[in-house]
Amino acid sequence: MKAEPSKGKRLLLVVACALVDADGRVLIAQRPEGKQLAGMWEFPGGKVEPGETPEECLVRELHEELGIETKTACLAPLTFASHSYDDFHLLMPLYVCRRFWGTPEPKEAQALKWVRPRQMRDYPMPPADAPLIPFLIDLL
């Protein structure tokens, strides 16, 4: 985790998910062209909207981005990222989800890959996501 002085930056709350399959592999998604950090491989997730709990946000994001269904009770918090980007400071809880319905499909034109946590080092990840890998190696 990289927490630098905020210099008045706004705090952005984003939630992310390590979706785990029966084989202990984790889903990563490549950020599409045109978005910030395009081409990088990340844990799926997104910004918490007003009126949402972080868990409700993740259920919604997993449906929008991957077309799968899950429930807030199926999300277990594992750790979090705290990282300063140029224009905001990102606070990003990482949840683990092993129970979901449907097969993840790229609904937002992103590429998807199921990888073992140790293989994740071979994929360029956003600076907020990369420090989370050791927690998944320990867990899985």
Is 18 among the residues that bind ligand 9L3 (CB under 6 A)?
A: no
Q: Would you say 121 and 113 are in contact if contact means Cβ atoms under 8 Å apart?
A: no
Report the candidate in 16, 38, 32, 24 with the shortest Cα–Cα distance to residue 114.
24
Question: Which residues sit at the interface with Mg ion, rule CB under 5 A?
Answer: 46
80's tokens = 């979090």
According to the binding rule CB under 6 A, does residue 42 interact with ligand 9L3? yes
- Interaction pattern, residues 82-111, with ligand 9L3; x per rule: CB under 6 A: --------x---------------------
Options 30, 75, 100, 129; binder of ligand 9L3; rule CB under 6 A: 129
Q: In what order do the strands lie in the sheet with 45-47?
A: 45-47, 10-19, 88-97, 75-84
Q: Does 43 bind ligand 9L3 (CB under 6 A)?
A: yes
Please give the residue whose beta carbon sits closest to Mg ion in the complex: 46
For 39, what's the count of Cα atoms within 13 Å in the CB-facing half-sphere? 1
**What residues make contact with ligand 9L3 under the rule CB under 6 A?**
14, 16, 35-37, 42-43, 45-47, 90, 126, 128-129
